[in-house]
Protein backbone atom coordinates (compact mmCIF):
# COMPACT_ATOMS: atom_id res chain seq x y z
CA UNK A 1 0.00 0.00 0.00
CA UNK A 2 1.31 3.46 -0.92
CA UNK A 3 1.61 5.74 2.13
CA UNK A 4 3.45 8.77 0.74
CA UNK A 5 4.30 10.46 -2.56
CA UNK A 6 7.25 12.88 -2.61
CA UNK A 7 7.86 15.43 -5.36
CA UNK A 8 11.25 17.11 -5.45
CA UNK A 9 13.28 19.10 -7.92
CA UNK A 10 15.32 22.29 -8.23
CA UNK A 11 13.76 25.70 -7.81
CA UNK A 12 11.55 26.82 -10.73
CA UNK A 13 11.13 23.26 -12.03
CA UNK A 14 7.36 23.17 -11.50
CA UNK A 15 7.00 20.96 -8.41
CA UNK A 16 3.83 22.58 -7.11
CA UNK A 17 2.07 22.30 -10.46
CA UNK A 18 2.70 18.56 -10.66
CA UNK A 19 1.79 18.03 -7.00
CA UNK A 20 -1.55 19.83 -7.43
CA UNK A 21 -2.45 17.82 -10.53
CA UNK A 22 -1.65 14.56 -8.78
CA UNK A 23 -3.54 15.60 -5.66
CA UNK A 24 -6.55 16.41 -7.82
CA UNK A 25 -6.29 13.10 -9.70
CA UNK A 26 -6.07 11.00 -6.52
CA UNK A 27 -8.24 13.16 -4.24
CA UNK A 28 -5.54 13.82 -1.65
CA UNK A 29 -3.67 16.63 0.13
CA UNK A 30 -0.28 18.33 -0.10
CA UNK A 31 2.28 18.84 2.66
CA UNK A 32 4.88 21.51 1.93
CA UNK A 33 8.52 20.50 2.31
CA UNK A 34 9.86 24.04 1.93
CA UNK A 35 11.88 25.61 4.73
CA UNK A 36 10.76 29.18 4.00
CA UNK A 37 7.11 28.84 2.97
CA UNK A 38 6.22 28.20 6.60
CA UNK A 39 6.55 31.95 7.23
CA UNK A 40 3.66 34.41 7.02
CA UNK A 41 4.13 37.55 4.94
CA UNK A 42 6.91 35.97 2.88
CA UNK A 43 4.90 34.96 -0.15
CA UNK A 44 6.49 36.17 -3.36
CA UNK A 45 10.11 35.61 -2.36
CA UNK A 46 9.42 32.06 -1.24
CA UNK A 47 7.29 31.25 -4.30
CA UNK A 48 4.17 30.09 -2.47
CA UNK A 49 2.06 30.64 -5.59
CA UNK A 50 -1.09 29.73 -3.67
CA UNK A 51 -3.22 30.30 -6.76
CA UNK A 52 -1.75 27.07 -8.12
CA UNK A 53 -3.59 25.08 -5.47
CA UNK A 54 -6.86 25.67 -7.31
CA UNK A 55 -7.56 23.32 -10.19
CA UNK A 56 -10.74 22.39 -12.04
CA UNK A 57 -12.74 24.65 -9.67
CA UNK A 58 -11.37 22.64 -6.74
CA UNK A 59 -9.11 23.93 -3.95
CA UNK A 60 -6.45 21.37 -3.08
CA UNK A 61 -5.80 21.25 0.70
CA UNK A 62 -2.24 22.19 1.63
CA UNK A 63 -0.34 22.13 4.93
CA UNK A 64 2.76 23.64 6.60
CA UNK A 65 2.47 26.93 4.72
CA UNK A 66 1.97 30.21 6.64
CA UNK A 67 2.31 28.64 10.07
CA UNK A 68 4.94 30.92 11.67
CA UNK A 69 5.79 34.60 11.98
CA UNK A 70 9.13 35.59 10.41
CA UNK A 71 10.79 36.36 13.74
CA UNK A 72 10.29 32.78 14.93
CA UNK A 73 12.91 30.10 14.39
CA UNK A 74 12.19 26.65 13.00
CA UNK A 75 14.11 23.40 12.98
CA UNK A 76 14.10 20.03 11.26
CA UNK A 77 12.94 18.54 14.55
CA UNK A 78 9.91 20.85 14.53
CA UNK A 79 9.28 20.13 10.86
CA UNK A 80 9.21 16.40 11.52
CA UNK A 81 6.77 16.86 14.38
CA UNK A 82 4.49 19.07 12.27
CA UNK A 83 4.80 16.74 9.29
CA UNK A 84 3.79 13.63 11.22
CA UNK A 85 0.82 15.40 12.82
CA UNK A 86 -0.52 16.26 9.37
CA UNK A 87 0.59 12.97 7.82
CA UNK A 88 -1.32 10.87 10.35
CA UNK A 89 -4.45 12.96 9.88
CA UNK A 90 -4.38 12.42 6.12
CA UNK A 91 -3.55 8.72 6.42
CA UNK A 92 -6.53 8.31 8.73
CA UNK A 93 -8.69 9.56 5.85
CA UNK A 94 -7.42 6.59 3.81
CA UNK A 95 -5.42 8.91 1.56
CA UNK A 96 -1.70 9.14 0.80
CA UNK A 97 -0.21 12.60 1.37
CA UNK A 98 1.96 14.32 -1.24
CA UNK A 99 5.09 15.87 0.26
CA UNK A 100 6.30 18.55 -2.13
CA UNK A 101 9.32 20.82 -1.83
CA UNK A 102 12.91 21.61 -2.63
CA UNK A 103 14.40 21.58 0.87
CA UNK A 104 16.31 18.32 0.52
CA UNK A 105 17.18 17.99 4.19
CA UNK A 106 13.51 18.22 5.19
CA UNK A 107 12.53 15.56 2.67
CA UNK A 108 15.43 13.29 3.56
CA UNK A 109 14.65 13.60 7.28
CA UNK A 110 11.33 11.91 6.57
CA UNK A 111 12.46 9.33 4.04
CA UNK A 112 15.48 8.24 6.09
CA UNK A 113 13.66 8.72 9.41
CA UNK A 114 16.23 11.01 11.05
CA UNK A 115 16.42 10.79 14.84
CA UNK A 116 16.97 14.40 15.89
CA UNK A 117 17.29 15.70 19.48
CA UNK A 118 14.69 18.29 20.45
CA UNK A 119 17.17 21.10 21.02
CA UNK A 120 15.90 24.68 21.23
CA UNK A 121 17.98 27.55 19.77
CA UNK A 122 20.93 28.55 21.96
CA UNK A 123 21.35 32.24 21.16
CA UNK A 124 24.48 32.70 23.26
CA UNK A 125 26.18 29.79 21.54
CA UNK A 126 25.09 31.11 18.13
CA UNK A 127 26.57 34.55 18.81
CA UNK A 128 29.83 32.95 19.93
CA UNK A 129 30.08 30.63 16.92
CA UNK A 130 29.08 33.33 14.42
CA UNK A 131 32.42 35.05 15.10
CA UNK A 132 34.33 32.05 13.71
CA UNK A 133 35.19 31.59 10.05
CA UNK A 134 33.55 28.92 7.95
CA UNK A 135 36.72 26.80 8.03
CA UNK A 136 37.05 27.04 11.82
CA UNK A 137 33.40 26.07 12.24
CA UNK A 138 33.90 23.04 10.01
CA UNK A 139 36.92 21.97 12.06
CA UNK A 140 35.00 22.49 15.30
CA UNK A 141 32.17 20.26 14.06
CA UNK A 142 34.65 17.56 13.01
CA UNK A 143 36.19 17.61 16.49
CA UNK A 144 32.76 17.08 18.08
CA UNK A 145 32.11 14.08 15.86
CA UNK A 146 33.69 13.69 12.44
CA UNK A 147 30.76 11.54 11.28
CA UNK A 148 28.42 14.54 11.67
CA UNK A 149 30.27 16.56 9.04
CA UNK A 150 28.89 16.44 5.50
CA UNK A 151 30.91 18.44 2.98
CA UNK A 152 27.92 18.81 0.64
CA UNK A 153 25.52 20.03 3.33
CA UNK A 154 27.75 22.02 5.68
CA UNK A 155 28.54 24.77 3.19
CA UNK A 156 27.15 27.71 5.19
CA UNK A 157 27.88 28.94 8.69
CA UNK A 158 24.19 28.68 9.61
CA UNK A 159 24.01 24.96 8.83
CA UNK A 160 27.22 24.17 10.70
CA UNK A 161 26.20 26.24 13.72
CA UNK A 162 22.84 24.46 13.94
CA UNK A 163 24.50 21.04 13.82
CA UNK A 164 26.97 22.05 16.54
CA UNK A 165 24.05 23.41 18.55
CA UNK A 166 22.07 20.18 18.24
CA UNK A 167 24.96 17.91 19.12
CA UNK A 168 26.55 20.12 21.75
CA UNK A 169 27.48 18.06 24.83
CA UNK A 170 25.09 20.15 26.93
CA UNK A 171 22.20 18.95 24.81
CA UNK A 172 22.83 15.23 24.62
CA UNK A 173 20.09 14.44 27.13
CA UNK A 174 17.29 16.13 25.17
CA UNK A 175 14.41 13.90 24.11
CA UNK A 176 14.19 12.43 20.64
CA UNK A 177 10.74 11.92 19.19
CA UNK A 178 10.64 8.48 17.60
CA UNK A 179 8.40 7.96 14.58
CA UNK A 180 7.74 4.76 12.71
CA UNK A 181 9.59 4.81 9.38
CA UNK A 182 7.51 5.31 6.23
CA UNK A 183 8.55 2.46 3.97
CA UNK A 184 5.89 2.48 1.24
CA UNK A 185 6.67 5.70 -0.57
CA UNK A 186 7.22 6.85 -4.14
CA UNK A 187 9.58 9.72 -4.95
CA UNK A 188 9.37 11.76 -8.16
CA UNK A 189 12.14 14.08 -9.25
CA UNK A 190 11.48 16.72 -11.90
CA UNK A 191 14.16 16.60 -14.58
CA UNK A 192 14.63 19.80 -16.57
CA UNK A 193 17.24 20.72 -19.17
CA UNK A 194 19.75 23.02 -17.44
CA UNK A 195 19.52 25.78 -20.05
CA UNK A 196 15.72 25.79 -19.88
CA UNK A 197 15.84 25.87 -16.08
CA UNK A 198 18.21 28.86 -16.05
CA UNK A 199 15.87 30.73 -18.40
CA UNK A 200 12.93 29.94 -16.11
CA UNK A 201 14.84 31.18 -13.09
CA UNK A 202 15.72 34.44 -14.85
CA UNK A 203 12.14 35.02 -16.04
CA UNK A 204 10.63 34.11 -12.67
CA UNK A 205 12.97 36.51 -10.88
CA UNK A 206 11.99 39.38 -13.19
CA UNK A 207 8.30 38.52 -12.80
CA UNK A 208 8.57 38.51 -9.01
CA UNK A 209 10.40 41.84 -8.97
CA UNK A 210 7.61 43.30 -11.10
CA UNK A 211 4.87 41.65 -9.03
CA UNK A 212 5.73 43.18 -5.68
CA UNK A 213 8.66 41.25 -4.20
CA UNK A 214 10.53 44.47 -3.40
CA UNK A 215 7.46 45.86 -1.65
CA UNK A 216 7.11 42.59 0.27
CA UNK A 217 10.61 42.95 1.71
CA UNK A 218 10.00 46.65 2.40
CA UNK A 219 6.99 45.65 4.52
CA UNK A 220 9.10 43.15 6.46
CA UNK A 221 11.66 45.88 7.16
CA UNK A 222 8.92 48.29 8.28
CA UNK A 223 7.76 45.66 10.75
CA UNK A 224 11.23 45.53 12.24
CA UNK A 225 13.09 42.84 10.32
CA UNK A 226 16.82 43.50 10.40
CA UNK A 227 19.30 42.98 7.60
CA UNK A 228 20.85 40.07 9.50
CA UNK A 229 17.47 38.37 9.75
CA UNK A 230 16.87 38.91 6.03
CA UNK A 231 20.27 37.34 5.34
CA UNK A 232 19.22 34.37 7.49
CA UNK A 233 16.44 33.62 4.99
CA UNK A 234 18.92 33.80 2.10
CA UNK A 235 18.58 34.38 -1.64
CA UNK A 236 15.79 36.87 -2.45
CA UNK A 237 15.58 38.26 1.08
CA UNK A 238 19.33 38.55 1.52
CA UNK A 239 19.98 40.44 -1.72
CA UNK A 240 16.84 42.57 -1.59
CA UNK A 241 17.81 43.44 1.96
CA UNK A 242 21.26 44.54 0.83
CA UNK A 243 19.61 46.68 -1.87
CA UNK A 244 16.96 48.24 0.38
CA UNK A 245 19.51 49.00 3.08
CA UNK A 246 21.57 50.83 0.44
CA UNK A 247 24.53 48.47 0.27
CA UNK A 248 24.24 47.55 -3.43
CA UNK A 249 22.57 49.00 -6.52
CA UNK A 250 19.39 47.60 -8.07
CA UNK A 251 21.30 46.28 -11.10
CA UNK A 252 23.93 44.66 -8.91
CA UNK A 253 21.23 43.10 -6.75
CA UNK A 254 19.43 41.55 -9.74
CA UNK A 255 22.65 40.19 -11.22
CA UNK A 256 23.98 38.74 -7.96
CA UNK A 257 20.61 37.28 -7.00
CA UNK A 258 20.18 35.55 -10.35
CA UNK A 259 23.64 33.98 -10.02
CA UNK A 260 22.92 32.92 -6.42
CA UNK A 261 19.64 31.23 -7.39
CA UNK A 262 21.37 29.40 -10.25
CA UNK A 263 24.01 28.11 -7.86
CA UNK A 264 21.34 27.16 -5.33
CA UNK A 265 19.50 25.07 -7.93
CA UNK A 266 22.75 23.27 -8.68
CA UNK A 267 23.29 22.50 -4.97
CA UNK A 268 19.75 21.18 -4.77
CA UNK A 269 20.44 18.69 -7.55
CA UNK A 270 23.70 17.65 -5.84
CA UNK A 271 21.76 16.96 -2.66
CA UNK A 272 19.10 14.95 -4.52
CA UNK A 273 21.81 12.83 -6.13
CA UNK A 274 23.26 12.23 -2.68
CA UNK A 275 19.81 11.08 -1.53
CA UNK A 276 19.94 8.45 -4.28
CA UNK A 277 23.34 7.29 -3.05
CA UNK A 278 21.80 6.89 0.39
CA UNK A 279 19.26 4.44 -0.99
CA UNK A 280 16.31 6.66 -1.87
CA UNK A 281 14.89 5.64 -5.25
CA UNK A 282 13.92 8.70 -7.28
CA UNK A 283 11.84 8.35 -10.44
CA UNK A 284 13.06 11.19 -12.64
CA UNK A 285 10.33 12.65 -14.85
CA UNK A 286 11.00 14.94 -17.79
CA UNK A 287 8.79 17.94 -18.51
CA UNK A 288 6.52 17.30 -15.50
CA UNK A 289 4.88 14.42 -17.37
CA UNK A 290 1.65 13.87 -15.42
CA UNK A 291 0.73 10.65 -17.21
CA UNK A 292 4.00 8.93 -16.25
CA UNK A 293 3.67 10.02 -12.63
CA UNK A 294 0.07 8.78 -12.49
CA UNK A 295 1.10 5.42 -13.95
CA UNK A 296 3.86 4.99 -11.36
CA UNK A 297 1.36 5.68 -8.57
CA UNK A 298 -1.20 3.29 -10.05
CA UNK A 299 1.47 0.59 -10.08
CA UNK A 300 2.13 1.19 -6.36
CA UNK A 301 -1.54 1.13 -5.36
Residue 177's pLDDT is 67
What is the pTM assigned to this prediction?
0.85
| Residue at 224 is within a domain | yes
Residue 146 confidence (pLDDT): 79
**pLDDT at site 171:** 53
The domain of 127 spans 117-175
Residue 155, pLDDT score: 80
Q: Mark whether 167 and 208 lie in a shared domain.
A: no
Tell me the CA end-to-end span of the chain in Å, nearest whole number.
6
pLDDT value of position 301: 80
CATH number at residue 219: 1.10.287.890
Q: What is the pLDDT of residue 58?
A: 92
Sign of the CA dihedral with 107 first, then 89, 44, and 228 last? negative
Structural domain contains residue 33: no
The tally of domains found in the chain comes to 2
Q: For residue 10, is it within any domain?
A: no
Per-residue pLDDT of the chain (301 residues; tens, 9 = 90+): 899 999 999 999 999 999 999 999 999 999 999 999 999 999 999 999 999 999 988 999 999 999 999 999 888 889 999 999 999 999 999 999 999 999 999 999 999 998 776 777 788 899 899 999 999 999 998 888 776 787 767 888 888 998 888 777 555 555 566 788 999 999 999 999 999 999 999 999 999 999 999 999 999 999 999 999 999 999 999 999 999 999 999 999 999 999 999 999 999 999 999 999 999 999 999 988 999 999 999 998 8
The residue from 142, 175, 208 where one domain ends is: 175
Is 188 a domain residue? no
**140 is a domain residue:** yes
Residue 98: inside a domain: no
Query: Domain boundary residue among 129, 144, 175?
Result: 175
Is residue 205 domain-resident?
yes
- Asked if residue 52 is part of any domain, the answer here is no
What value does the CA radius of gyration of the chain take, rounded to a whole number of Å? 19
Say whether both 201 and 258 belong to one domain. yes
Amino acid sequence: MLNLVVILGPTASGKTSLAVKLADSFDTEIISGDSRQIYKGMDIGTGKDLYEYKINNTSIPYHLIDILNPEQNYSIHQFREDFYNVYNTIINKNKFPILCGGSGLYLESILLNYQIPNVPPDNNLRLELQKLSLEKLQNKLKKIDNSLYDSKHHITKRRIIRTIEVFNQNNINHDINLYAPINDYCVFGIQTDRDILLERIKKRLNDRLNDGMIEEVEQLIKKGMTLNRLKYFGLEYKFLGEYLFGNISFEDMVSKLNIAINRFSKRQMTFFRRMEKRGIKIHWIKNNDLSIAKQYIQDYL
